[in-house]
């Protein structure tokens, strides 16, 4: 058995892609692991492919940590310089996390929260770095401030004493695949196709 090593960002739920890959590709299984910095694993060669978050303008943080913090939407020239392929998969909606028993808890998900709903709260962080989101959600759980981040990231981290709601006054974020050009092969392309919704009966 051979393994396709896939590292994914917090808040991403790739289980269905892994299952389809395992079912369709004979002799291969997807070996998945979560990381705050999937791009670093791709660049080092530790992972074959990364499922990363592209925050774009209006967010703190970036695809990876270290030297790659803030390179969320690097252009084609930079992709070539780093010998990377990139495929965007879908957009995430923004969210806001507030202390439990905040007025937003009663709002439910019928309509997104707005800046007016949190005008009396201190925004501790507005970004996508998982470590910072975790740290500040602990503060929110102590009934102080709020955090604005991608809704799936807030859902994936989850803290007792915190509720999160959709938030209209922040940009969306993107989720996509990144892999090294020297790792590009039929197996990687099969996984990319599965993530993009290719059916078992369709060809590339």
Question: 106 and 84: one domain?
Answer: no
Indicate whether 133 pLDDT > 90. Answer: yes
% of the chain with per-residue pLDDT over 90 = 75
Please provide the DSSP assignment of 183-198 as one string: G-SHHHHHHHHHHTT-
In a domain, 36, yes or no: yes
Alpha-carbon span 177 to 29, nearest angstrom: 18
Question: 119 and 82: one domain?
Answer: no
Q: What pLDDT was estimated at residue 202?
A: 58
Helices (H), 25-129: 38-44, 76-81, 103-107
Indicate whether 105 pLDDT > 50. Answer: yes
The arithmetic mean of pLDDT across residues 105-123, rounded, is: 89
Give the position of tokens 């201190």. 122
In a domain, 58, yes or no: yes
Find the largest Cα–Cα distance for the chain.
56
Question: 19 and 49: one domain?
Answer: yes
- Residue 45 sits in which domain range? 2-91+173-195
Domain containing residue 44: CATH number: 3.40.190.10
In a domain, 202, yes or no: no
Whether 6 and 21 have beta carbons less than 8 Å apart is answered as no
pTM: 0.88
Return the exposure string of 143-165: e unless at least 16 CB atoms fall within 10 Å of the residue's CB, then b: eebbbbbbbbbbebbebeebbbb
Whether 74 and 80 have beta carbons less than 8 Å apart is answered as no
């Amino acid at each position: 058995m051979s393994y396709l090593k896939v590292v994914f960002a917090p808040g991403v739920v790739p289980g269905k892609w892994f299952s389809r890959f395992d079912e369709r590709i004979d002799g291969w299984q997807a070996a998945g692991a979560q990381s705050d910095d999937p791009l670093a694993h791709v660049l080092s060669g530790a992972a074959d492919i990364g499922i990363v978050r592209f925050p774009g303008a209006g967010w703190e943080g970036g695809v990876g940590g270290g030297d790659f913090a803030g390179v969320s939407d690097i252009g084609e020239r930079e992709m070539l310089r780093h010998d990377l392929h990139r495929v965007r998969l879908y957009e995430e909606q923004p969210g806001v996390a507030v202390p439990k028993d905040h007025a937003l808890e009663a709002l439910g998900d019928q309509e997104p929260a707005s800046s007016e709903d949190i005008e009396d709260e201190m925004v501790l962080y507005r970004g996508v770095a998982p470590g910072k989101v975790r740290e500040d959600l602990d503060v929110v759980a102590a009934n102080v401030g709020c955090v604005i981040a991608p809704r799936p990231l807030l859902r994936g981290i989850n803290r007792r004493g915190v509720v999160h709601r959709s938030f209209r006054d922040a940009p969306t974020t993107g989720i996509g695949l990144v892999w090294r050009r020297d790792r590009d092969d039929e197996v990687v392309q099969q996984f990319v196709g599965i993530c993009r919704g290719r059916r078992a009966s369709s060809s590339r």
